[in-house]
Structure 1
Amino acid sequence: MADPQEPGKVTGYRHHPQDRIDLVNRIKAIENELGFLVAELNARDDIDKRALALGRTHLQTGFMWTVRAVFQPESNL
């Protein structure tokens, strides 16, 4: 296992080339932008909050799996 203090190394993840890091950063930027939109929707009174909360949860899950597809973490699970 790599030294957890090694720059750029996250425990459970292999080293990634810059193009993959850039790709995940693009995904995260889109995720953050969508988060701002969800917050804006949540501030409205004419929005179904339960449906929005479910949508938010599913979006979080989708983005998590999208990042995982790119980074392919090492796991025993």
Structure 2
Amino acid sequence: MENQHQKIKGYRDLSQEEINLMNEIKAIGPQVQSVIEKVQKHIATQRYNCKCDAGQQVHDLEEWDRLELATPERFAAMAKTDFQTALMYLVRSVAQPTSF
């Protein structure tokens, strides 16, 4: 698959320095993903701890309501999307394709 990018319109040859930089950017992804998964697990644990029985009835209504108002799942999802977008932008800033 050597020089595969030459067959893709709008892409150019990258220097070794650029390839190394892109690989460095790509290496950040799994680290960020791991932290996001930890945050999601933390939020899920908070939700779980508000429930006490097999029927999953809420027993700590005050904490449940606080979580409902804070919408932590939403913010974690937004963070995931924004980190993915940011990493894509960094890769594109190094690759510098000319196509839309």
What's the TM-score bracket when you normalise by the shorter of the two chains?
0.7 to 0.9
Match of 2:2 among 1, 7, 20: 7
When residues 37 and 70 of structure 1 are mapped into structure 2, their CA distance, relative to the original with a 3 A threshold, is same
Percent identical among aligned pairs is 31
Matched, 1:58 2:56: no
In structure 2, the residue corresponding to 1:43 is in which secondary structure?
helix
Distance 1:35 1:17 in 2: 28
Distance 1:68 1:42 in 2: 28
Structure 1 residues not aligned, in runs of 5+ = 1-5
Matched letter for residue 4 of structure 2: K
Greater than 6 Å deviation, 4+ residue runs = none
Show the 5 A alignment for 1:1-77: 6-10=1-5, 11-12=8-9, 13-44=11-42, 45=44, 46=46, 48-75=72-99, 77=100
Distance 1:74 1:7 in 2: 21
Matched letter for residue 26 of structure 1: E
TM-score by length of 1: 0.79
Structure 2 residues not aligned, in runs of 5+ = 47-66
> If each structure's helix is expressed as a fraction of its own residues, which one has the higher value?
2
**Aligned positions, number:** 71
Matched letter for residue 74 of structure 1: T
Shift of 1:64: 0.7
TM-score by length of 2: 0.63
